[in-house]
Structure 1
Amino acid sequence: MKTSLQVLCKIMLLVATFMLFSHTATAYTTIESGDTVVIDEVIDDDVIVAGGTVIIDGTINGDVIVAGGMVEINGNIEEDLIVAAGDVQINGRVGDDLRVASGTLAIYGEVQDDVISFAGETVLADTGYIGGDFSAGSGEITISGHVGGNVKASAEEITIHGNIGGDAELNAEEINISPDASISGNLEYRSKSETKIEEGVVGNNVHYSEMESHKDGGIVSSLISGLISYLGLVLIGLIGLAIWPEYMENIAAKTSESPGMAFLTGLLVLIVAGILTILLFVTIIGIPLGLILLTTLFVMLYVARIIASIWIGRHLLSKMGKSTKTMNEMAFGLLVLLLASAIPVIGGLIYLAATLIPLGNIYMTARN
């Protein structure tokens, strides 16, 4: 297996594993969601927060899970931080691990242990500090600060100006290593062409291999697409569980009650909604209503998959003798659902059932 593919697989596995099983605390302080959520106090507990904009200026003596459009950490988080957001900026301090799925990630402050990032752009500024290992999959990665451990990164472009205390494994079409950079261990990199590396920048051995993008580009693209789909649904699920926890759990519990009736109801809802949308788009005056109906339908389809994932995760984990929180059941069930849907022919049927059964239950619950 090619090196870049190995890194992507490791990143996918690490992100999925940490998001699934790293938080089994029995109590959380759930912060109400909203357009803007600001935490400027000391909280001696684990925290879950969702909002359009989330700003943490205070101190949280526990783990933190955040879902939002923009997340800014200016205060102190003493334990782990998990973020699924559009833009993430770390100006303060994270006392343990940081795991991020976002459009952009910028670290200006400190992360005392490992960082796992899957983002469109990842930046470790010159003031940024990572005490442990740094694993990243991004479109563009810039390391200007200090990484105490190893670096494993895969991107279209990687630029290093800072210091890496361990080994570096880099995979990108373009790799730039500044003469001011420092890599204490070994450097193993793969790109389209060799990179000019000044003497003394790398402490030990340097190994280069040529990238043959035309051979594995399709596989890499599929992995990235699948991971983006998974993380996007996890984000929707975290927001949904933060806003309507009891409602989503109640709908999930009904999945096994009358699955046949729920499936037919969901199919009927989908067909009727599709016909109504087409009819509304035919007339100019009905276009706004058609857009609203179409948007609502897409949202309900995504929510239905999240609900199915809760049921799948809870059912499978209970069979394994594990008891965990709803968000972990959702993330695990979602991973299983996406993997099952990749099976030829039968996978499509599984995904269809996992969508229509909850959709039918949502409609029947709303009607009653």
Structure 2
Amino acid sequence: MRWLYLLLLTSILALSLAAEALEFRGGDIISIDSPVEDDLFAGGDAVNVNAPVDSAVIFGGKVNVDAPIKGDLIVAGGDVNLNSDVGGKIVVAGGTINLRGDVARNVVMAGGQVRILSTSEIGRDAAISGGDVYNAGKVLGALWVNAGNFQNNGTAGEVRFQQWKEDEAEERSEAFISTFSILMILGFLIVGLIMLRLFPGGVFAVDQEIRRSPPVRALLGLGLIVASIVLIVISIFTIVGLPLGLVLLELVVAALLLANLFVSFSLGRWIVSALNQTPGDVPTFVLGYLILSLLFLLPYVGFIIELISISLGFGAMVFALNESRRRV
């Protein structure tokens, strides 16, 4: 299943490096009712694309794409309906996925139920993973399927099918975890982009602390994480300190979740600086996010790299907050 990560992250990078301007949409129910001649990043309970878009990254409970996408499309959602044509490639993770439109390039989809309907034609290859997979469309290239049940009423240049067997519970679990991980990757990507858009000063302040002394910030960050956990445990088990402990727990968890996003931006800046490139803040962040996410996938050392990254980001955030307090 690791190929799903690689294709997903590569698609994100290709989409973001091509973006000179971005259109951000957020809310409970989002409707794109007028053309967007930019790269769209949207997240909400329900996202409805009713007008043409250049390219899009969408995260939502229910996603309906009823208008053409000129370039690439990346979607994570519970119920995903792709009813219009896509001029590039698509990467989709969801509970239920229905593909009805044409796709000019490659398709990667992972979900509980994945259906390629008769109105769909895929210009190149398709890689599908899911509990139930149904193909009634036309795949001009190869069709790779890894599923519990597969029904093929369509056509493909080549079909390769690997079935989940009843006693392969571990493989099913791995497939579910991989799908969930893809959703998390997309979700944190959108959070990072929104954070960079709304709070650029805070992002640059933490980046400055990271680049100032990474080993010191990482070591102190690890110590602060341990100290925070001890303080939270002590506070929660005392009646007087319980409210403080709960508040502190929420703050620490939020900081830990955001730590890797700050490190991603700093890593991206270091890479583009070494290459003497100036692609802009958003592509720089996504480049760092891509590299860091791939490093986390490495066997044996991935966990250590992630622990260092979280400690570094946490420590840098504390230093940046302290520096901001001093200036005030």
| 1:1-368 equivalences in 2 (<5 Å) | 8-60=1-53, 62-160=54-152, 162-173=153-164, 225=177, 228-229=180-181, 232-245=184-197, 246=200, 247-283=202-238, 290=245, 293-320=248-275, 324=279, 325-340=283-298, 342-344=299-301, 348-367=303-322, 368=324
Counterpart of 2:161, as a letter, is L
Alignment deviations for residues 296-337 of structure 1 (CA, whole Å, 9 cap, x no partner) = 433321211222223234434544566541343133222343
Please state how far the C-alpha of 1:153 moved relative to its aligned partner.
Answer: 1.4
Please state how far the C-alpha of 1:73 moved relative to its aligned partner.
Answer: 1.1
Q: Report the CA distance shift for 1:70/1:318 in structure 2 as closer, same or farther (over 3 A).
A: farther
Runs of 5+ unmatched residues, structure 1: 1-7, 175-191, 193-211
Separation in 1, partners of 2:76, 2:288? 15
State the SS of the aligned residue for 1:93. coil
Please state how far the C-alpha of 1:362 moved relative to its aligned partner.
Answer: 1.6
| 1:15–1:99 Cα contact (<8 Å) kept | yes
Separation in 2, partners of 1:57, 1:71? 11
Separation in 1, partners of 2:246, 2:80? 31
Question: Structure 1 length as normaliser, TM-score?
Answer: 0.72
- Could you say what the CA RMSD is over the residues aligned between the two structures, in angstroms? 3.3
Runs of 5+ unmatched residues, structure 2: none
Separation in 2, partners of 1:315, 1:230? 26
Q: Report the CA distance shift for 1:301/1:337 in structure 2 as closer, same or farther (over 3 A).
A: farther
Please state how far the C-alpha of 1:57 moved relative to its aligned partner.
Answer: 1.0
Separation in 2, partners of 1:102, 1:120? 7
Counterpart of 2:18, as a letter, is A
Aligned residues, how many?
317
Please state how far the C-alpha of 1:163 moved relative to its aligned partner.
Answer: 0.8
Separation in 1, partners of 2:7, 2:271? 21
Counterpart of 1:116, as a letter, is V
Please state how far the C-alpha of 1:41 moved relative to its aligned partner.
Answer: 0.2
- The structure with the greater share of residues assigned to helix is 2
Please state how far the C-alpha of 1:257 moved relative to its aligned partner.
Answer: 0.7
Alignment deviations for residues 76-116 of structure 1 (CA, whole Å, 9 cap, x no partner) = 21221122334422123322221123343222333343211
| 2:268–2:285 Cα contact (<8 Å) kept | no
Counterpart of 2:66, as a letter, is N
Separation in 2, partners of 1:56, 1:241? 20
Q: Report the CA distance shift for 1:253/1:134 in structure 2 as closer, same or farther (over 3 A).
A: farther
Counterpart of 1:233, as a letter, is I
| 2:87–2:103 Cα contact (<8 Å) kept | yes
Point out the more displaced range, 320-329 or 39-48.
320-329
Counterpart of 1:326, as a letter, is T
| 2:110–2:179 Cα contact (<8 Å) kept | no
When Rg is computed on C-alpha atoms for both structures, the one with the higher figure is 1
State the SS of the aligned residue for 1:76. coil
Separation in 2, partners of 1:363, 1:240? 18
What is aligned with 1:209? none
| 1:99–1:117 Cα contact (<8 Å) kept | yes
Q: Report the CA distance shift for 1:30/1:261 in structure 2 as closer, same or farther (over 3 A).
A: same
Please state how far the C-alpha of 1:55 moved relative to its aligned partner.
Answer: 1.8
Separation in 1, partners of 2:116, 2:83? 11
Question: Structure 2 length as normaliser, TM-score?
Answer: 0.80
State the SS of the aligned residue for 1:242. helix
Separation in 1, partners of 2:45, 2:230? 33
Counterpart of 2:305, as a letter, is I
Point out the more displaced range, 279-288 or 16-25.
279-288
State the SS of the aligned residue for 2:28. strand
| 2:70–2:88 Cα contact (<8 Å) kept | yes
Separation in 1, partners of 2:240, 2:78? 34
| 1:237–1:330 Cα contact (<8 Å) kept | no
Counterpart of 2:300, as a letter, is I
State the SS of the aligned residue for 2:318. helix
